[in-house]
Amino acid sequence: MRTFNAVIERDPDSGLYVGRVPGWPGAHSLGTSLDELERNLREVVEMLLEEGDPKLEFEFVGVQTIRVA
């Protein structure tokens, strides 16, 4: 089993959740709920893996909180 990190955001206009695997072109999807988004992302990743191992453009490290006055 392989593991990939996904960045999840919510579009304020449509209310849809948007997810992407950082650094992997084409590895993105959307859903009306977080559960639906997870299923959709899993399906996309499985499909992309059929083409072989991903050639990531960069590696996801994490998120950082920036505080400003």
pLDDT in tens, 37-51: 999 999 999 999 999
pTM: 0.85
Q: Answer whether 42's CB lies under 8 Å from 29's CB.
A: no
| Residue 9 exposed, middle or buried by CB count within 10 Å (0-12, 13-18, 19+) | exposed
Number of H helices, E strands in the chain: 1, 3
Tell me the pLDDT band of 55, cut-offs 50, 70 and 90.
Answer: confident
Q: Is 52 helix (H, G, I), strand (E, B) or coil?
A: coil
For 16-38, how does the pLDDT look when each residue is reduced to its tens digit (9 = 90+)? 999 999 999 999 999 999 999 99
E strands present in the chain: 7-10, 17-20, 28-31
Say which amino acid occupies 16: L
Decide if pLDDT at 1 tops 90: no
